[in-house]
Structure 1
Amino acid sequence: MASYFSSILFHAMDCIGFSRQMILLRSDIANNMYETVSENCAEYLCMEVILAGSKSEGVTQTNASDNDLMLVLRKCICVDTGRQENDFIVLEAITKDCPPGYTQLRLVNDGNMDIPDIFYMASEYDIIKGVLLLKSAGFHKFFTLVSADIPSFDGLEQKYTAINGPAFSMIVERSNYLGIKSAKIYNDHVLAMPYYSFTILTEWKNRVRHYEWPPASLIHDVSTMEGFVVPIGHKLSEEQHFEWRICYTTAERQLITSLNETQLKLYIVIKMVNKNVIKPVLDCVTSYMLKNVILWVTECSPLCIQHSSYLTRFMIQSLWFLLHCLLNNHLPNYMIPSRNLLLGKMKSDQKQTLTRLLGDLINEGDTIVLRCDKLKNAMFILVSNQSLAFAFKVWRDEVEKLILEINRNITIKTRPDMILRSSYIYDMCYEYWKDESYMVNIFRLYSLLNVDIFSLTQNGIQNFQDIVTCLDNLLS
């Protein structure tokens, strides 16, 4: 019975956009779009834009959640042992006396290279260590203030919101042609610098693994990838304002996208259970914690039993793993196991509440997923009318594919010099009309949505707004 329920859930997820094909397609196009943005803006920003988080992994639908962006300063390089280089600003990592997963940064400079003033403004001399340290708090604050001063322009209204850890959040409200309002864009921006550590990745590569994942080729690839440092210290550290967090964002993305279909769907189900069941009671389990839970559970399980009929079994196993970590006050980071993701994250009463809740969910078993309306409705339709469910899957996937292609087309056509002009909206409309493939996709989308073009032009703004609302409901 459990295996049948699990198989129904597995196939029902295909109907709402979570087949492996759609997950990887979203990931590929989203990351490709920001590679294009990065290339287009290289001259203006002097940094690389990297998409991070759920959007980059494709496990979040196109219109759901926000965009987590890393702004990587490519003229900087952080290393374990540094020396002056003519083409880079070199920073040496000082991990001694820092919490695991954090480091302090010493500016390596002999006066032969021009260093931006911010590096000196955000630096402070440490008398005990006898070195000039780059202050993460000062660097973060300066960058946030500069970004907040960027002017708005015709077609986009920027609204800055609260700082969250190393990120500063921005809301962009798009005002389109003739005043049509589309969905707001939520972006979290994190400043980062590339970090190369032989020690951390060597320990990760050589640690004992008892099963087949990750495969040897993936372990090798990940062990050669760069890490990043972001301006945030450990909140319980006395020197947190001088500390930078070490992360392996692109390596984790490669690990996630390498998962098989059952493992990917497990990750999505756990995120949905957290959002619909755990978070309304207690908002202290982050998506990043769940990602690390899934990576550990996958590594510690034989691949031979990781198929569709075991999906809910692994969901319960993941909750057991999280409960075990909670009881032991230690959830190890997958890339840096000595870094405890639970440290300083919740109070005693929150821990007790979460412990009871996880115990109740484990006892409830497979039917937890029925508390997620989107999963419950998809499973009901699949069981009651399989042909209708399949037809909806084909239609829905085609709509999202067109939206993804349209978004990619918009990104390719958008250049920084266009954005800064007051005629931005009209310039973009002109670019669209010149592109036959773009217009074909638009009219194909209208056809799939059963939109009458004549009525659309007659009724104007309200009909466009209805289309935007329909797509948000479908793809969120």
Structure 2
Amino acid sequence: MSANKTESLHLYDYLCWKIGSDKEVKGRRLTFIAIDTACKFLISSGSKSEGLDLKGSDIDVMFINQDFKVYESERDYVQAQRTALIMDTTETHPCFTRLFLHTNYTSLHKDHRNVLELHGIKYILSNKLYKQSFLKIITKDRPMSFNKIHGPCISDDEGKLDIAFCLQCDNWILQAVPWITRPRSSWLSPEIVNEIIMNGVLFVPIGFKGSIYEDLEWRISFSVAEKFLIFSFNHTQLLCYALLKIVLKEIIEKDEDLKTLLCSYYLKTLMFWVSDDANPTTWRPDNIIPCFMACLQRLLYCVEYSTLLHYFISDFNFFTLRLSTELEKKTKLSNLLKNIYQQGIQCLSASETLHDYTKFPTAVNKLLNINTRLVKYILEISHYFHIPFDNRRSCVLLKCLRHPCKTVLSNDIFLYFMSAAHQVLQTKSYTHHAQNNKQQYNRYQYDLSHLLIGLHSDAVTGWLMVASFFYVHENYLISLDLIDYALSHFTDEKCDHLFSSKTRIIFTPKQQVALDMMKKEKLLTTFKKKITITYLHFALKSQILPKELQQDDMKGNTFFHPLAFGHFLRFLCFFHLHDIISCRDAMQDLKLSIKKIRPANGSVSIYHLRSTLFVGIVAQMLGATDSAREYFNYIAQIDKVNYTSASTRLRELG
């Protein structure tokens, strides 16, 4: 084997170890596919959903607003319940459009009228007013999480999650029709091209910078199509794409002057054009270095000639304004890219992620612990998504699982999310006064079977949800047995990162050993064998939440730490069994659990506040009113936005 091929294979093995193997990338993608499938009208986008988990990668989520429907022209309009909008691309740059109202203005809901502006005799949907309206809604529900508008998105305070509330046109638009028949290599099959066309296009709320109609324009988005394209990459292509992103973020953007010239989206576009031109057989592990150098060379060419055309609408050149007005920065960027190209693959040593490439052993154990890294990834992503159970979405998941092309890995990931969704019962669960005994029994059996499916996604929470179910039905002894079983699994090797504010998991030595012992197991077995713990999630007005906590469930979904909730539920069972001695023991265990779950840095989380609330409720139930008042007062002083019922309970005590 030639030296070049040997070096390429060495780099390929290193990148699989550092960035992710083919199987690991598929697992990451399947995680987001499962979330997209379970969450109606949600489309994940960005690097993480593409299968990359690089430093600084955030989560991009697009919610399709079902209140509106976009049509390219009035001829395409189909009578529907949704507010109809018509594209108008006159006086707009390629890739941008204004959206005129086609529905009768007077028939609209007030919220819809508030995001429209009258121009002449037509109403136009304002992207500025539209974003502000959603920011107002989100900050009302989650004031400490999302607080700023970032481009077309609403972002969280840490800049880790971007949400775009987009609109959809079901049809492929005329501006992008030339892409369908454009000459290209055989990397895209006709089936994929047809699938892309069938999904239409999206519109995100941002206008062309500097346009006189900037606040009234919407950018045409091909995010769905781009996911199809990225998923069509083989692993060598994807790794070259990842290398370009690392070069941008960790080498080029070290220079403050160059931070605003390029972005990841440009690199994605570049990769599409390169893939169109290249012979698909060149994207091989033993040829990855020449492939990457060709991508770098193409980027240098684009910068020098200020030309990078939009992949779907080639009339739009990203670099027309970006580089022509920044000549000094363009020259600086061009010189840096030339230097990087001349260094060849050794340029990677200047990056933080890949700095140890030269120290990577030639002979390496390729048996990576995929389970450990995927469990870590799934838990980190789960930090952002709460998947409620829905019969229709569950049927979609089941249909996906029955697909003959599904792999063991995809089945495990889909089953994990299905199980997690089944831990949360639908809100309207019991209406005793309106049901006869047979109906109540059928409802009881249905809900119990529903919760039993939820036992497979973590070690503790599923059991506690079933225990809460039996408590509400006054089966206190069964509930106690389940609580004791659940709490016995709350051990040090479990991964319970969800109760902290950190979005990146760092496994303890015990957790790492526990996961390493299961690296040859199926992924779902890793979850089934009780490696992870998640929070308890009760839907709004949940019928299996103890009545003692229903004051905290009046505004929206409620989350509790399982360790504290388990000890609190034990107390409630003993209280109704009139076992006062055991009640006092349970109260002491509850207090100890709160000390255990409080972060070492002394910070106070919502889980800590709600766990402390348990102690106040317990004190009140035992007749220690003064003590209860102290606990409620402590929580109320910290909980300024009333995440808990502490203020209400304090007023009730007088």
Q: What TM-score results when the alignment is normalised by the length of structure 2? A: 0.58
Count of residues paired in the alignment = 417
- Kindly state the Cα deviation for residue 377 of structure 1 after the two structures are TM-superposed: 2.5
Distance (whole Å) between structure 1 residues aligned to residue 108 and residue 305 of structure 2: 46
Matched AA of 1:53: G
Matched AA of 1:450: V
Match of 2:513 in 1: 450
Instruction: Specify whether residues 241 and 405 from structure 1 end up closer, same or farther in structure 2 by C-alpha distance, changes over 3 A only.
Output: closer
Q: Identify the range of structure 1 (193-202 vs 373-382) with the bigger mean alpha-carbon deviation.
A: 373-382
- Kindly state the Cα deviation for residue 34 of structure 1 after the two structures are TM-superposed: 4.0
**Matching residue within 77, 81, 86 for 1:92:** 86
Matched AA of 2:351: C
User: 1:86 aligns to what SS in structure 2?
Assistant: coil
Match of 1:108 in 2: 102
Matched AA of 2:108: I
Structure 2 residue 165 is matched with structure 1 residue 165: no
Structure 2 residue 245 is matched with structure 1 residue 252: no
Structure 2 residue 208 is matched with structure 1 residue 199: no
Instruction: Specify whether residues 13 and 463 from structure 1 end up closer, same or farther in structure 2 by C-alpha distance, changes over 3 A only.
Output: farther
**Matching residue within 295, 306, 316 for 1:318:** 295
CA contact (8 A) 1:202 1:223 kept: no
- Kindly state the Cα deviation for residue 382 of structure 1 after the two structures are TM-superposed: 2.9
Q: Identify the range of structure 1 (246-255 vs 320-329) with the bigger mean alpha-carbon deviation.
A: 320-329
Larger radius of gyration: 2
CA contact (8 A) 2:131 2:149 kept: no
- Kindly state the Cα deviation for residue 348 of structure 1 after the two structures are TM-superposed: 2.8
Instruction: Specify whether residues 451 and 72 from structure 1 end up closer, same or farther in structure 2 by C-alpha distance, changes over 3 A only.
Output: same
Instruction: Specify whether residues 121 and 343 from structure 1 end up closer, same or farther in structure 2 by C-alpha distance, changes over 3 A only.
Output: farther
Give deviations 1:370-421, integer Å, cap 9, x for gaps.
Answer: 22343343552332x523xx35xx23x2212223555455852575989xxx
Structure 2 residue 285 is matched with structure 1 residue 308: yes
Matched AA of 2:329: Q
Give deviations 1:411-464, integer Å, cap 9, x for gaps.
Answer: 52575989xxxxxxxxx9643656999x799968786613799xxx99955999
CA contact (8 A) 1:168 1:188 kept: yes
Instruction: Specify whether residues 315 and 441 from structure 1 end up closer, same or farther in structure 2 by C-alpha distance, changes over 3 A only.
Output: farther
Match of 1:423 in 2: none
Match of 2:335 in 1: 356
Match of 2:30 in 1: 28
Distance (whole Å) between structure 1 residues aligned to residue 10 and residue 174 of structure 2: 45
Structure 2 residue 274 is matched with structure 1 residue 283: no
CA contact (8 A) 1:8 1:379 kept: no
- Kindly state the Cα deviation for residue 95 of structure 1 after the two structures are TM-superposed: 0.9
Match of 1:381 in 2: 360
- Once the two structures are superposed, the pairs formed by residues 75-474 of structure 1 within 5 Å of their partners are 75-82=67-74, 83=77, 85-110=79-104, 114-127=107-120, 130-151=121-142, 158-171=144-157, 186-195=160-169, 196-209=171-184, 211-281=185-255, 282-284=258-260, 285-345=262-322, 347-377=326-356, 380-383=359-362, 385-387=363-365, 390=366, 394-395=368-369, 397-404=370-377, 407=382, 409=417, 412=421, 415=424, 430-431=461-462, 433=464, 449-450=512-513, 460=596
**Matching residue within 13, 17, 20 for 1:18:** 20
CA contact (8 A) 1:20 1:264 kept: no
Match of 2:11 in 1: 9
- Kindly state the Cα deviation for residue 9 of structure 1 after the two structures are TM-superposed: 1.0
Instruction: Specify whether residues 151 and 167 from structure 1 end up closer, same or farther in structure 2 by C-alpha distance, changes over 3 A only.
Output: closer
Instruction: Specify whether residues 449 and 331 from structure 1 end up closer, same or farther in structure 2 by C-alpha distance, changes over 3 A only.
Output: same
Distance (whole Å) between structure 1 residues aligned to residue 598 and residue 56 of structure 2: 23
Matched AA of 1:206: T
Q: Identify the range of structure 1 (15-24 vs 285-294) with the bigger mean alpha-carbon deviation.
A: 15-24
Distance (whole Å) between structure 1 residues aligned to residue 142 and residue 513 of structure 2: 39
User: 1:314 aligns to what SS in structure 2?
Assistant: helix
- Kindly state the Cα deviation for residue 170 of structure 1 after the two structures are TM-superposed: 0.7
Q: Which has more strand, going by share of residues?
A: 1
User: 2:156 aligns to what SS in structure 1?
Assistant: strand
- Kindly state the Cα deviation for residue 94 of structure 1 after the two structures are TM-superposed: 0.5
Instruction: Specify whether residues 97 and 31 from structure 1 end up closer, same or farther in structure 2 by C-alpha distance, changes over 3 A only.
Output: same
**Matching residue within 69, 78, 81 for 2:61:** 69
Q: Identify the range of structure 1 (240-249 vs 160-169) with the bigger mean alpha-carbon deviation.
A: 160-169
Q: What TM-score results when the alignment is normalised by the length of structure 1? A: 0.78
Q: CA RMSD in A?
A: 3.5
Identity %: 19
Distance (whole Å) between structure 1 residues aligned to residue 84 and residue 347 of structure 2: 50
Give deviations 1:315-363, integer Å, cap 9, x for gaps.
Answer: 2222222222222222111122222223444533322221111111112
Instruction: Specify whether residues 430 and 243 from structure 1 end up closer, same or farther in structure 2 by C-alpha distance, changes over 3 A only.
Output: same
The gaps in structure 1 that reach 5 residues or longer are: 40-47, 153-157, 172-183, 419-427, 466-476
Matched AA of 1:35: T
Distance (whole Å) between structure 2 residues aligned to residue 330 and residue 275 of structure 1: 21
Give deviations 1:133-167, integer Å, cap 9, x for gaps.
Answer: 11222212222233222245xxxxx3335422111
Distance (whole Å) between structure 2 residues aligned to residue 162 and residue 463 of structure 1: 28
Match of 1:472 in 2: none
CA contact (8 A) 1:15 1:378 kept: no
Match of 2:586 in 1: none
